[in-house]
Amino acid sequence: MSESVNLPALGESVTEGTVTRWLKNVGDRVEVDEPLLEVSTDKVDTEIPSPIAGIIEAILVAEDETVEVGTPLVTIGDGTSSPEAAPEVPVEAAQPAAAVQPEPAEVAAPEPAPAPAVEVHTQAPAPVSAPVAAPAPVIAPVAVPSPVEVPAPIPSPEHAPAAAAVPVTPPAPVAAASVDAPAPTNAPAPAPVDAIVPVDATVPTHAIDANPGYVTPLVRKLANEKGIDLSTIVGSGVGGRIRKEDVIAAADQSATASGPAAVPVVTAAVLETSPLRGTSVPMSRLRKVIAERAVISMQSSAQLTSVVEVDVTLVANFRNSVKAKFLSKTGQKLSFLPFFALAAAEALKAFPIINATIDGDTIVYPPQENMAIAVDTERGLLTPVIRDAGSLDLAGLATQIADLAARTRDNKLKPDELAGGTFTLTNTGSRGALFDTPIVFLPQSAILGTGIVAKKPVVVSSGGLDAIAIRSTVYLALSYDHRIVDGADAARFLVAVKTRLEGGDFAGNIGY
């Protein structure tokens, strides 16, 4: 006995769908709720689960074919005619999941191994065999007897200091003193990273002079330019006077000592050539829908963008102080995005025109803030919606953002979760962009883009004086429909968000 599986309704306004990929073949066994195929609509790409168990007898709709809701897709039988097919199916059916799941396990397993591998400093470049052999006891005796003249005193610890202190000449203390003296040469105490430097303050003459004797202005200026502490230089001139050559030699020595340390830090990223290079592929249904809506939105509305720069240093400090506890309490990492979402939701309540829509000649003000979050997927940009975002705290927003993003990327969203947004938040800074000018998608009237959070020197007011400090900043860009939103409305909204973030008072909104 066989039964047909039809295309189900995938949302209130969805009337048709396109079969993008079959996950089962004729003759395969399928269990109840096991995915049969992937279907793309104008709202979402999703998997269709099987309502019954059995053997697939016939596939009625080909890939890339568009059919209406209720159309038969596949015929499934009871499997009595081919029981031998059952053992093969679970292995094949589990293959896609298995191909993805073991990969992290294989990568994670070797990670503990490199710790012992670092100690194995011998010549062989075989990192895999080194941790297995674990020759720790063998290495210790090899590394200890570096000087040849110490074999006799080694067994007796009492003789060890004597052997070290018996250099052939008696004036050992003098040599020790001469070694200790140059130690401060490369150690001018660095200023703290976030130290505030007054703008009008004159540059000090270099805190160099620990009474090095008379130094000519030319030598002192050269030392200032090279960053050399004159008190650490032994002059080669008459009476120990420091000459220009002494400063240049000290600068060269300092550059040689510090130069190699900075080299390994700079590593160039190697870009792989994409296999799509030189090919032509048809646009997916989702890509076509995004393209059509973007063009319609740009042609039907008057769009422009306003940008503000926000100092989020206090937010960064608060986030660093609570992120460990936040993770243990909620199971979610605390990024900057929930702070931006919370500040935006509060500002939408105060300036509802940013949250409004146009219905003919009427401006509609929704009763709640349904915030769409732009999610980057392999199939294209999708915007699942956080319902009533204005009622949520940081924990609630972080949880919903993480859940919606994960299910969007895994094709687990329901079509209705992509509908009903009144305002959109897009985090282009997650990919390193300073800021952009996002497009407003109708029927919404505004979209807020958040750039990358970066540290930089900023002029701040401290005690009535202007000063320079290292601050964490971000650009916020609001694109809006000028048909109902004026520039002043956009500015008021952005300044409200800016003020909320720069205040940094989120202790009462943590949510745990």
Tokens of 178: 């001469």
C-alpha 291/C-alpha 380 separation (Å) is 11
Give kind and range of the element (H or E) at residue 37. Answer: strand 35-40
| Beta-carbon count within 10 A of 329 CB | 13
Enumerate the β-bridge partners of residue 68.
16
| Beta-carbon count within 10 A of 293 CB | 14
Choice among 159, 482, 489, 505 that is catalytic: 482
206 is catalytic: no
C-alpha 4/C-alpha 111 separation (Å) is 49
All residues at 6 or more sequence positions from 128 whose CB lies less than 8 Å from its CB, including other chains: 113
Tokens of 209: 């002079």
C-alpha 280/C-alpha 302 separation (Å) is 34
Question: Read out DSSP for 92-117?
Answer: HHHHHHHHHSHHHHHHHTTTTTHHHH
Enumerate the β-bridge partners of residue 26.
none
Tokens of 412: 């687990």
486 is catalytic: yes
**Peptide bond just before 443 cis, omega within 30 deg:** yes
Choice among 33, 64, 410, 486 that is catalytic: 486
Cβ burial, residue 199 (10 Å; 0-12/13-18/19+): exposed
For the annotated catalytic residues, the residue numbers are 482, 486
